[in-house]
Structure 1
């Protein structure tokens, strides 16, 4: 009888094994012989290859006078996950048929699977603990995985108590919060490089376990800001309290107003603080008490009792925050003079306006300077005399032969003490003449919707004759199209045209062509200003694209998924010509693994369709996609799609688990036990003692346990019942309640394995004399007579 052996029982990535074939000395393996190497037919291999073309060498040192040994090198298939494999040899005849023992090929690196979970991602107390749970694609070598392989930001907590909940595939680790810390969007990760599965395959890269947030830091008051001065009985005072973060529970009881000169009257006294930004900044408003003159006024924090941040942390109790000192005074400010530094302004010119007040004022704005036919900017206060303010006056464009004078707006004008004025004060003797008319242009396009093969005429029409206009003054996105050279239209120097050609592969709804007027001048030398733009036009020379998504990336028995086809724009040619379904020639997928239903439009914009995908039963496949052939799809402008659009990968598992039952000893006698092995086709849940079908009268099962290296294998100890005589029985498995990791199950009972129990001890039950014969009667058949076919009837022995 031939044998096939390997020098390894488990082969991982990067390893090989030596395969030895031992056959009868008279049997010749192979069909060719090249320098001692034989190419052998009739070899069946799973899980890898042997050399090139099943090549073997004769190993004389291992051969015997009756046997001959051939050896080859077995190389495992990449990316296999703990697969049971065998090698068989089946030449003509039966004398040298052989099958190796089952060996394991595991060449797939472990990865993280599913979505990790964090029990509580928001930690609000020092030393608060939350648990992170995560699952790998297979069992790990537990010694290879420690907390050193986990990463969190420095100082943002500690990871502890790393543990597995099922022997190395499902894991948990505890995260403990630090004190006095506030941070968001913190990431926990795993460095897979130091982690190996039980076969020794290392992981690669870094993966993210999740995001968490910490707020164990108590809030504190950052600042209290008030005015520098106020006016008696005339101006409301706003005090702003800024905390380090949003808080609740902040009231007037937390504020000391004893030295604030706040009005005691109901209409003007302080109200409870309010917040407009969710609780970080609070304000109170009140009016100074009438008749108060005080140069020393402050608002401070009395205490922070009852103040909490949004996580419930109590505020730092003691605080000395307060406003700066402010003065109460009741004198109104007003301007004493207002002048221009020029008498005439042309295009592009500005003038400096100088206004002198009777005292220093604090809230002068550009709106204080009321000058028609222009705008005020660059407001600044004299550094040596705070009573003097200057601003830049810029005349309005396109004005001819007009003039302006200065008026000062006194409304809300405030001095350093906070007193305000009202009304306005004109200065008619301060006038300036303005002439700022600049050339302008209108830009038009002959076609506002450009598609493949089209061009448009761009026309530039100026308000007057200009010089200096060329393509350098024209601004447009040259990545979307090109302009030809400018051509003068007519002889008046006011109109030019050019041809615009869109680029290919463009889809843009917003496009303009603009003219920078800075380099253009009219006959008076006034340069143009700013830019003039054409109306918007669209370009569509881009083919349509599609995104294919699937609603469920892990399909098991009884499940379906929705496949959604989302185009970048409205298309035609995607739905069948009869309007009732889907042109399946455009969908590319493995129909042996599943089927797509008819296509259904989603919405009314012609961009989205969906179909139901139903996996076929009995399928177990990790790599699947659905693709769309875009060659026959057109957008509204007639642009044809290119290439394909492909969904992300999804897996199918509609195959139910199966089990094989074996027993280590098929004939059990008194005092013996046997090991019963249950080998499933994949790892399952729900398997227990109650799942095992066995005749309890013939023996008992105990110590049911799962193999730690291969979770598919379970063993139990069978102890036969004493004093049974030659009793045959069976062991099988009831599939009810047993599920694989996708929830697939089956009904009924597995194939049974037969065994015999014979634990009865024979004894003499009678002795009689029959003439010259002594007849001994035993309780069971004996082997006293070597010729068993001559045994006396009824288990008797005659002497």
Structure 2
């Protein structure tokens, strides 16, 4: 069958693969396969066969014949992959070596096969940790035929598990000299497609598609039975339980498995006992006459290979009264699934049907049928129970090879007898009951078995005796294919007797029919058996049970015809089954070029007829008429490739349905040849420069791509303009060649080519190129841009700007003000109106700067020409001077405390020389200034300040209007400048003198307060003239403004006009100004003379009645005088 992109029989070329995504999966623990952790096996390089440099090459997948559903697994396999299916009849490892010997240049060998820890099943042999050293020569040959650095990937369950698995993988790597990877857990269904263990550096990817791996419904595990026990660790039963769909169950050596219960297979597996694949069974499954050997459940797909199925036994139970007996369907194999028997012997298995129950209804008894007999002293069916009546009399259990006695109302009546090596007798009733039929006896001369006897009946149709088939039963859902050298022999089946019918005086019910006996195979489904295997049916024996009797007018039950070989019970039966012919197609010359042809050989598995070229689809060529010289097995023809074709993936495909074998069986599906390459086209090339605009420091990948792989290409075949090329090399086998181009220095050239002389190369078929091939054009610019920077106005003052022009040697890009260092100023954004050669901007000097040496510096590395070459170093502009500093000044009044008669030097110092400075520019407080003048070129100016008279002012300034002066650059000052503060005091101190008490008498004093116009110093009583009294020493408590003292008038003084006079010249204010003239106090009167009196009596002689004027004259006017005085 042709599957997507691959070849089923030999070698395949394939279609596009999907990406490979995997997920770890750990297999379920079982009795003989515990959970394995993911091993981080050290990456140890395998011993190389030669220099350890990987060589690119093809991938080959080898698929063992036991792998299920190969077609679906290989759907979408990676392009260029060759697929080889191993022959199950030959040494698989040798097949791999032989194939690689004829197909060298392989870098990835991928093996899909069934495995186990340290084991791999290839063809008809195991490769294992035990025998790997013995296969060293073959393994070395495999490694030698692979490319250096090649990988071997093994997709098989548990191959690298545990110490045994690791040892196996390491040995494979050492003996092949190649890197090996394998799985330490389950691969396929229920697992993953990861290879957890690796030696060396694995570079190959899985060639299977993600979809195919995800959808694959089979596993790749091999489970091994290591002992012959019925159950337990290492048993066949445990191995089957551990297996999953697609797995193989095998044995560690020839053995006889002793079963005590049947093996149930309910999954899609292969049980393989042909350990050396010689077509002969090496393992016996022995039922010991204690059990059926195997049951295959519905829906399961099972292959049994190389097994002997023997001594299986099924003993049917007798029917209860009124009912038929159960059948005994197959002592050897009961199949409800899809079963293939290949090289399987089914022999000496037996089955016995139980007797039917006696016919009965109502309140009467019908005898139970007897149980079927056993074999070898084992087995025996249970007797049926009597019934129904008013109670139930149970039948007896069978055992020891004897079927149980059917139930009755006593030990001798009604119940059928159990079978032994002969058939059991039918039950005998009391008067008027109908007797049961006897069980059959089947014998092949070596073994003998008997069916159970039927029970006696009364008033109903007797129950049917149980059917029996000794060898194989194929249910209606089952399909059995028997191929190889399979033998179904010496199996025996005995039917049970029918139950008795109506009794005398009861009714006319018939006796029950006897059970059918079949020796070899009972088929209700589909049975396909080759003519040879059908002919080999021998020694099988069968007998059918007798029908039950009837005494009430009914008829005795029939006894069916027994069948010793195959009884087809409404199924599909083909006893001359012929497997369809298969073929391999080999194209001898797998690499064809102009003028060449190749022998094509088509080899069939057997002689066929009907093959013509019409059955062949031929890729890119023609084929002469096929013919055979050996009777139709081998057919040959000559293939001629088509002209002007270059195709590496070609196959010849055979439609197998067009041929038939000698039995008339047509082939199935399609078969592809090995892949062949057709190259009848001369190599051509394209040359691509990746970077078509090269600048300083750049290189370019140059890719020369041929339409096919070529050899012989060197730099000598290339003409290279304005540069050099590293040696060209190929990493993909000669299709794509690369080198690195380095342009020559100091070159500007927009038209350049690399030219290939095609005649210097040949494709792998040996076809040379012709003519020349040019690359795409590439431009080279390896000259760096340079620049000049010109500041137009090189002497700048306040308010001035200058044009700045930067001129490059060529157009540039990326130029911004960030590339400029600008001294003492700012620059508007540079711009160009001629495509990037000339750039201009306006320079504005910084304020308050005075610097005669300034430059604008260009960092050339910040710009690049249109090719991308950056400049180098820096470029300076012409020098320019900046004076944007306005002149400033300081004004110092030397004497900052001026009094009467003093002057002060005033010094005005400018920050720089100025002109235009006059007294007009000055505002002078409380004084006048002589004309300012400078003796140092205009920096320092001096004048003399004279304060105004009669002024007292502590806060005075001389203020300069800076706008009236300009520096030598013409920059006018701004604002005003004040001098230091100076104080002026040109006012003499004055005083007032107040005598508080202006009328003083004896004993009185007066406060005298002298208050000056300002604080004074030097004031003492010596400065005072004091009339008619004395004054205590004057003193001041307020800093010299107010002075006080106490005045005491002189005694015996009477004077109304008195003054205290201050000589002002004796005192001075704090500035040192002396007073002038004198100051008088207010007037004060002094009267320190006591009044005196004279008393004159005018009539100094008085008589009665007389009065006299008395005159009292004081020395001065008095008050308070009364007669009381």
TM-score of the alignment, normalized to the shorter chain, above 0.5: no
Query: TM-score, normalized by length of structure 1?
Result: 0.36
Query: TM-score, normalized by length of structure 2?
Result: 0.27
Bigger Rg, which one: 2
Greater strand proportion: 1
